Amino acid sequence: MSELRFAQAVNLALTDAMRSDESVIVLGEDVAAAGGSFKATRGLVEQFGVARVRDTPISESSIVSAAVGAAMGGLKPVVEIMFMDFITLAMDALVNQAAKARFMFGGRSHVPMVLRTPHGGGLSAGPQHSQCLEAWLAHVPGLKVVCPSTPQDAYSLLRAAIDDPDPVIFVEHKGMYGKKGEVDPSQSATIGSARIARAGTDVSIVTYGSTVDHALAAAAQLDSDGISVEVLDLRSIQPWDQAAVLASVARTHRVVVAHEAVQAFGVGAEIAAWIAEHGFDELDAPVVRVAAPFMPVPFSGALEQHYMVTPARLVAAVQKTLA
């Protein structure tokens, strides 16, 4: 076990997967010589050569389409899309091809590909480089969507995604690439399994990705007021761990669902609706959502801070559900 930054954990997962399986290849803009926009693929081309670590033209549609074909032909491509915003250019290949192939070919053909992409704001990158679009992809049958919050999960869940026979969207918050944590390569993870980041008894915060850290900060602040907050890290958005969420609701009887993406029609809406349908008798208060307003991400740093989910907003939400 060693301490690694989030980006280093991603790099190690790719390295170990490529060493253990020659069918794993890496594709994307600047992933080879430059080592990726956030340096998550640094050093891979030196280890595995240009045949397995390929710089591509600036054409997200072509990159993902090629990966779908390569996956159906027996390879395990890991595609890097530089910013999640640019996934819009590859939606046909993802939604109409990768997600549908197993169903359209009667289960005789799989698409074992991973699409890695960073999302999220907080860096004044503007409205076209800061979006969280995971709800789009979680809505598509045939796609799996993963969003880790720790270097350990970045490693373990990426290894699981590469081993999965179906297409997986692996979402990384670009503000977390420098986050440090212990990583044990022998520790595995299962797509669709949540983890309790902090146990509590008074209210549950259900979240994922970078918002987990904000939830933990809010929980620590509320602890000094005698309020015990459970933080449930979903880790996987599609499929998501319904049993873990219901168990948390049964323990605390109050729920805040939080994510950085726009609140309207988001992941939190699905979870809140599911809790209302399946866990209503356990609730002592309505489910509260904390997310982004219905507007593009501001470029201004001052405005962006009002747009983002913060510990203060989560504290206020917890206090609301306890009122």
24, 29, 35, 38: CA torsion to nearest 10 = -110
> Structure tokens of 169?
């969207």
CB 114 within 8 A of CB 79: yes
26 vs 178: CA distance, rounded Å: 22
> Structure tokens of 16?
């170990």
The residues, ordered by sequence, that sit 6+ positions from 302 with a Cβ below 8 Å of its Cβ are none
- Bridge partners (DSSP) of residue 117 are 171
81 vs 67: CA distance, rounded Å: 12
Nearest to 155 by CA among 1, 299, 12: 12
> Structure tokens of 32?
């080879």
Residues known to be catalytic: 129
266 vs 264: CA distance, rounded Å: 5
40 vs 20: CA distance, rounded Å: 19
Q: What are phi and psi of 126, to 5 degrees?
A: 90, 170
